[in-house]
Amino acid sequence: MKKMKAKEMKAKEMKAKGQVSVEFFILFVVLITIFILFVGLTNQFGFITKQIIAKEKSNYIALNIARIVNAVFISGNGTSAVLSIPQNYTINYQARSIIVEDNIGNIKSAPVLINNINLSISSGAQELTIQNINGKVFIGG
């Protein structure tokens, strides 16, 4: 009878050890899953943040160019200003708006007071010269 009890106790101990191993494995899998989800979400938030920053930078550049164009126009004939812009931005003019597009497709516009602006900007220009010549605004770079 005592041998039977010893065998039963040994079987119970083995079963308990197996249960602890399974519980540890389940806990480990849950923790790894949470970690993977956290890393994925962090990367996604980083990507979204970069997109927002790029859009706001395009918006800032458009507003800054429009502000200087308006100031040069209002100041009258012979006024000029020089403005530095980062690389990889395209500047256009359309229907009283300065339009700025970056190399990833973010497009922002800002209103200007003048109807007719002449653009002559080479690709990759980092410096714009904005001039008022006889009431017409010229942007070159």
Q: Which carries the bigger pLDDT value, residue 68 or residue 3?
A: 68
Task: Work out the average pLDDT over 99-123.
Answer: 87
Contact 57, 89 (CB under 8 A): no
CA-CA distance, 120 to 114, in Å (whole number)?
Answer: 17
Task: Tell me the average pLDDT of the chain.
Answer: 85
Q: Is the pLDDT of residue 9 over 90?
A: no
* Degrees, nearest 5: CA angle 34-39-41: 95
Q: Which residues pair with 107 in a beta bridge?
A: 101
Residues above pLDDT 90, as percent of the chain: 35
Task: Work out the average pLDDT over 19-44.
Answer: 87
Reported as a single tens digit per residue, the pLDDT across 41-53 is 888 888 889 888 8
Q: Can you give the residue ranges of every domain in the chain?
A: 1-141
Q: What Å distances lie between residue 107 and 25, 60, 61, CA to CA? A: 51, 11, 11
Residue 60: pLDDT band with limits 50, 70, 90 = very high
Q: Beta-carbon neighbour count of residue 13 at 10 Å?
A: 10
CA-CA distance, 106 to 41, in Å (whole number)?
Answer: 23
Q: In the prediction, which pLDDT does 15 show? A: 62
